């Protein structure tokens, strides 16, 4: 097996005049394998030798030295099989015992030398080991052994010389037919080698990238948290318009509007656009808020979210506008917290801290966890770098001047909030994050609803990335082009597309190990790689989960008054919730490639809304 990974060493050994023998492919215990597997082991190794150096060897040394130190008959019972296959069994009586360890370290070179010298009269072949761990002392002891034995009158010869044969008699050239077969074998061994290298590379690079990003995001978020807050709300505060697009939101719209009217800021106007609802949304709005002087209700045929927001913006009379989704409740001080940032004339938009309010099911609790540990954590980090790419429609504040400069709210994408945010940022405006401006949104309560919502988000993000791809890697746009958009491409598109491969690799290594461990399938290639692959997979996977968990803990520590019990199912989330996101991403890419249109509608609540946590 090692020869397949390091063929250049095999070629060098042969080129320097050494003999190469068969020692099986995976070093199994002969009394523990069948006759069929013995043939597999010897033939596979022989084909490897032939395809690597162009000759075939008749030399064979059994694993574990059973040819000279058998402890029971079963150990040597299989040896005649090798002889029947034409092999000459080469044994040894002098074992340097350089494989032994004391306190986890290889025995000293002097002890190795003493072991050989003590046994010198017992035989004529000395066994050293070049694999299985650290062998520095073996290398150091070897010249000492040679010098010492020569001093005592011993000569060193090759195995063919010892047998009275020539090298070509034990390392025989291949016939023309065998050369053709060797080339085919070399091709297969090469494919197998590069397949394993490629898969391992994908696995390692993927985990390192995800873990590295998590660490960087965590550090940046922590630094952002420790920055002094210099924003102050003017007295009196500026007027503000709250824009709410609504489409079939009869179960939540009344509570949403009431939460806005309960704001600490009284100088605000609420503009609601009922975008062609076919349920009781319009009726409830008119009945509950039709006479409220601070609420303006506009009814229109269904034209989409961007059109609804554009119409509401056209009716607004203030320089600062706040957008809120129709299924979102806000804290009383949320709008005031957002407005503080506009005391800085460079600020064009501010993202609020959106949390999941309906946390009564596993799926919604996982989404609540994701909002805290992924979306809001990233906004904290990117706030420090001034490259936030999404001011969420659930709660965000905007400077009217910045919106107009960016071309207004367009329907170019189905993620108008991401499109507008990037457009504003590329013009040089600052986009901030306000953690204390809290909004409680309604999360999808079924997998199908979640997939529909995230499909729109993901598809819209891809559209926004493509629309603004001319900023990619251009220093003119600062961290937007150098950090934010590459982050979208790598971590929201490319890496998630190959993440299923990483998951399948881990699952496959577990299955392969189980098949080999319990002898369900006994193939040399399988058993050779199963244990080592599983060990590497488990090591990297556990490392990834540890970093992921630490990042989640940090995200919760940065939040105020959060429910830490959400962290309990974090591992389960990685094995179920993430698979749903794979479905969403693959579907989004498929639709993007096909060019099919996608609507803006996200979630349709199926039940009365859960009261947001206090």
Residue 49 has pLDDT above 60, yes or no: yes
> CA-CA distance, 210 to 496, in Å (whole number)?
10
Q: Is the dihedral of CA 24, 27, 30, 36 positive or negative?
A: negative
Give the per-residue SS3 of 279-321.
Answer: CCHHHHHHHHHCCCCCEEEEEECCCCHHHHHHHHHHHCCCCEE
Measured distance CA(182)–CA(192) in Å, rounded: 15
H/E run at residue 456: helix 447-467
317-340 pLDDT, tens digit per residue, is: 999 999 999 999 999 999 999 999
Q: What is the pLDDT of residues 161-172, one digit of tens each?
A: 988 999 999 999
pLDDT per position as a tens digit, 298-323? 999 999 999 999 999 999 999 999 99
- Which tokens in the block code for residue 544? 């990834």
pLDDT for residue 188 is more than 80: yes
* DSSP per residue, 168-202: HHHEEEPPHHHHHHHHHHHHHHHHHHHHHHHHHHH
Is residue 485 pLDDT above 60, yes or no? yes
In 220-263, beta strands by DSSP E: 240-246
Question: Which carries the bigger pLDDT value, residue 101 or residue 298?
Answer: 298
% of the chain exceeding 70 in pLDDT: 88
CA dihedral 251, 254, 259, 265 (to 10 degrees): 150
- Show the domains of the chain with their CATH numbers: 2-178 (3.20.20.370), 179-228+344-614 (no CATH)
Pairing of strands 430-441, 328-330: antiparallel
**Percentage of the residues of the chain whose pLDDT score is greater than 90:** 47
What is the model's pLDDT at position 602?
Answer: 40
Q: What is the pTM of this model?
A: 0.72
In terms of Cβ atoms closer than 10 Å to its own Cβ (0-12, 13-18, 19+), residue 2 is middle
Mean pLDDT confidence for 518-522: 55
pLDDT, mean of residues 78-93: 86
CB-based burial of residue 560 (10 Å sphere; 0-12 exposed, 13-18 middle, 19+ buried)? exposed
Give the pLDDT score at 601.
Answer: 46
CA nearest neighbour of 398 among 320, 318, 343? 320
Give me the pLDDT at residue 69, please: 60
Query: How far are the Cα atoms of 12, 242, 338, 339 from residue 344, in angstroms, in the given order?
Result: 70, 20, 12, 10
Q: Is residue 599 over pLDDT 70?
A: no
**What angle, rounded to 10 degrees, do the helices at 570-594 and 447-467 form?**
50
Quick one: CA dihedral 381, 386, 388, 393, positive or negative? positive
pLDDT tens, residue by residue, 546-595: 877 888 888 898 888 888 888 887 777 767 777 777 777 777 777 766 66
């Amino acid at each position: 097996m090692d020869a397949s990974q390091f063929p250049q060493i095999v070629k060098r050994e042969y080129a320097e005049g050494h003999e190469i023998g068969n020692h099986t492919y995976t070093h199994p215990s002969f009394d523990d394998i069948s006759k069929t597997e013995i043939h597999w082991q010897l033939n596979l190794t022989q084909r490897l030798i032939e395809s690597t150096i162009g000759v075939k060897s008749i030399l064979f040394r059994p694993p574990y030295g059973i040819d000279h130190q058998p402890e029971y008959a079963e150990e040597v019972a299989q040896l005649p099989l090798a002889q029947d296959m034409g092999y000459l069994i080469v044994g040894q009586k002098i074992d340097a015992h350089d494989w032994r360890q004391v306190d986890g370290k290889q025995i000293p070179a002097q002890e190795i030398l003493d072991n050989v010298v003590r046994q010198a009269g017992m035989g004529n072949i000395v066994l050293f080991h070049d694999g299985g761990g650290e062998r520095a002392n073996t290398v150091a002891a070897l010249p000492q052994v040679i010098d010492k034995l020569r001093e005592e009158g011993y000569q060193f010869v090759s195995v063919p010389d010892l047998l009275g044969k020539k090298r070509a008699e034990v390392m025989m050239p291949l016939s023309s037919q065998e050369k053709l077969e060797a080339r085919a074998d070399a091709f297969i061994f090469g494919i197998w080698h590069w397949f394993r290298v490629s898969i391992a590379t994908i696995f390692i690079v993927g985990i390192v990238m995800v873990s590295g990003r998590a660490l960087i995001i965590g550090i940046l978020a922590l630094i952002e948290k420790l920055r002094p807050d210099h924003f102050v709300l003017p007295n009196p505060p500026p007027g503000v318009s709250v824009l709410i697009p609504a489409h079939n939101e009869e179960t939540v719209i009344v509570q949403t509007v009431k939460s806005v009217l309960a704001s600490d800021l009284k100088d605000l106007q609420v503009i609601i656009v009922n975008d062609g609802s076919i349920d009781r949304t319009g009726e409830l709005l008119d009945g509950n808020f039709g006479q409220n002087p601070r609420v303006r209700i506009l009814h229109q045929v269904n034209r989409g979210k961007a059109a609804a927001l554009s119409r509401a913006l056209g009716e607004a009379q203030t320089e600062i506008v706040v957008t809120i989704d129709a299924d979102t409740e806000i804290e009383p001080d949320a709008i005031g917290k957002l407005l503080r940032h506009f005391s800085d004339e460079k600020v064009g938009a501010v993202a609020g801290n959106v949390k999941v309010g309906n946390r009564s099911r596993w799926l919604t609790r996982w989404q609540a966890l994701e909002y805290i540990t992924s979306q809001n954590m990233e906004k904290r980090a990117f706030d420090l770098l001034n490259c936030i790419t999404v001011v969420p429609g659930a709660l965000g504040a905007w400077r009217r001047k910045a919106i107009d400069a960016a071309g207004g709210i367009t329907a170019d994408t189905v993620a108008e909030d991401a499109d507008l945010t990037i457009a504003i940022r590329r013009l040089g405006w600052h986009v901030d994050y306000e953690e204390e401006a809290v909004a409680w949104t309604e999360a999808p309560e079924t997998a199908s609803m979640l997939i529909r919502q995230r499909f729109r988000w993901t598809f819209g993000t891809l559209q926004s990335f493509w629309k603004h791809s001319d900023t990619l890697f251009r220093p003119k746009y600062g961290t937007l082009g150098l950090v934010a958009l590459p982050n979208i491409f790598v971590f929201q598109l490319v890496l998630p597309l190959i993440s299923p491969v990483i998951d399948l690799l881990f699952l496959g290594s577990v299955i392969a190990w189980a098949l080999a461990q319990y002898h369900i399938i006994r193939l040399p290639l399988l058993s050779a790689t199963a244990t080592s692959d599983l060990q590497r997979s488990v090591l990297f996977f556990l490392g990834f989960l540890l970093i992921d968990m630490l990042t989640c803990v940090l995200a919760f520590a940065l939040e105020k008054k959060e429910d830490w019990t959400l962290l309990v199912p974090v591992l389960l989330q990685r094995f179920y919730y993430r698979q749903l996101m794979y479905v969403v991403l693959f579907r989004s890419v498929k639709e993007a490639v096909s060019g099919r249109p996608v609507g803006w509608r996200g979630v349709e609540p199926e039940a009365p809304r859960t009261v947001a946590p206090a």
